[in-house]
Structure 1
Amino acid sequence: MALAIFDLDNTLIANDSDYLWGEFLVDKGYVDADHFREQNAKFYEDYKSGNLDIFAYQRFALKPLSQQSMETLHEWHKQFMQEYIEPIILPKAQAMVDHHKNNGDRVMIITATNTFITRPIGERYGITELLGTEGEIKDGRYTGEVAGTPTFQHGKVTRLNSWLAENDETLEGSYFYSDSHNDLPLLELVSHPVIVNGDDKLLEIAKQRDWPLMDMRQ
Structure 2
Amino acid sequence: MPEEKIVAVATRPVASAQHGEAAFFDVDNTLMRGASLFHVARKMYQRGAFTIPQAAGFAWKQLMFVFRGENIDDVHAVRDTALSLASGFTVEDIAALGEEVYDEMIESRIWPGTKALAEQHLRMGRPVWLVTATPIEVATVISTRLGLTGALGTVGEIRDGSYTGRLVGEILHGPAKAVAVRGIAESEGLDLNRCWAYSDSHNDIPLLSMVGHPVAINPDTRLRRHAREHNWPVYDFRSGRRAATLGLKAATVGGAIYGLWRGFSRFRGPTV
Pairwise TM-score range, normalised by the shorter structure: 0.7 to 0.9
Secondary structure (helix, strand or coil) at the match of 2:178 reads helix
Give the corresponding residue for 1:15.
Answer: 34
Following TM superposition, by how much is the alpha carbon of 1:42 offset from its aligned partner in structure 2, in angstroms? 4.3
Taking a change above 3 Å as real, the CA distance of residues 55 and 16 of structure 1, as seen in their structure-2 partners, is: closer
In the aligned structure 2, how far is the partner of 1:96 from the partner of 1:170? 20
Give the corresponding residue for 2:84.
Answer: 63
8 A Cα contact 2:43 2:97, kept in partner: no
Give the corresponding residue for 2:4.
Answer: none
Q: TM-score, normalised by structure 2?
A: 0.72
Following TM superposition, by how much is the alpha carbon of 1:79 offset from its aligned partner in structure 2, in angstroms? 2.5
Give the corresponding residue for 1:147.
Answer: 168
Match of 1:25 among 14, 30, 44: 44
In the aligned structure 1, how far is the partner of 2:228 from the partner of 2:209? 14
1:76 aligns with 2:101: no
8 A Cα contact 1:156 1:186, kept in partner: yes
In the aligned structure 2, how far is the partner of 1:93 from the partner of 1:67? 35
Secondary structure (helix, strand or coil) at the match of 1:52 reads helix
In the aligned structure 1, how far is the partner of 2:158 from the partner of 2:131? 20
For 1:77-111, what per-residue CA distance to the aligned partner results, in whole angstroms no more than 9, with x for missing partners?
33322221121123322221111011111211111
In the aligned structure 1, how far is the partner of 2:158 from the partner of 2:148? 23
| Equivalent residue letter for 1:66 | S
Taking a change above 3 Å as real, the CA distance of residues 53 and 85 of structure 1, as seen in their structure-2 partners, is: closer
Following TM superposition, by how much is the alpha carbon of 1:18 offset from its aligned partner in structure 2, in angstroms? 1.1
Deviates more, 1:86-95 or 1:100-109: 86-95
| Equivalent residue letter for 1:10 | N
Give the corresponding residue for 1:182.
Answer: 203
Give the corresponding residue for 1:165.
Answer: 186
Structure 1: 4+ residue segments shifted above 4 A: 42-47, 53-57
Deviates more, 1:199-208 or 1:162-171: 162-171
In the aligned structure 1, how far is the partner of 2:217 from the partner of 2:43? 25
Give the corresponding residue for 2:265.
Answer: none
1:126 aligns with 2:173: no
Following TM superposition, by how much is the alpha carbon of 1:70 offset from its aligned partner in structure 2, in angstroms? 2.6
Give the corresponding residue for 2:24.
Answer: 5
In the aligned structure 2, how far is the partner of 1:75 from the partner of 1:108? 22
8 A Cα contact 2:61 2:74, kept in partner: no
In the aligned structure 2, how far is the partner of 1:39 from the partner of 1:154? 25
Larger radius of gyration: 2
| Equivalent residue letter for 2:149 | T
Following TM superposition, by how much is the alpha carbon of 1:213 offset from its aligned partner in structure 2, in angstroms? 0.9
In the aligned structure 1, how far is the partner of 2:191 from the partner of 2:170? 21
| Equivalent residue letter for 1:211 | W
Gaps of 5+ in 1: none
Give the corresponding residue for 1:196.
Answer: 217
1:138 aligns with 2:167: no
Secondary structure (helix, strand or coil) at the match of 1:152 reads coil
Following TM superposition, by how much is the alpha carbon of 1:186 offset from its aligned partner in structure 2, in angstroms? 0.8
8 A Cα contact 2:218 2:235, kept in partner: yes
Taking a change above 3 Å as real, the CA distance of residues 191 and 98 of structure 1, as seen in their structure-2 partners, is: same
8 A Cα contact 2:33 2:110, kept in partner: yes
| Equivalent residue letter for 2:99 | K
Q: Percent identity?
A: 31
Gaps of 5+ in 2: 1-17, 240-272
| Equivalent residue letter for 2:92 | E
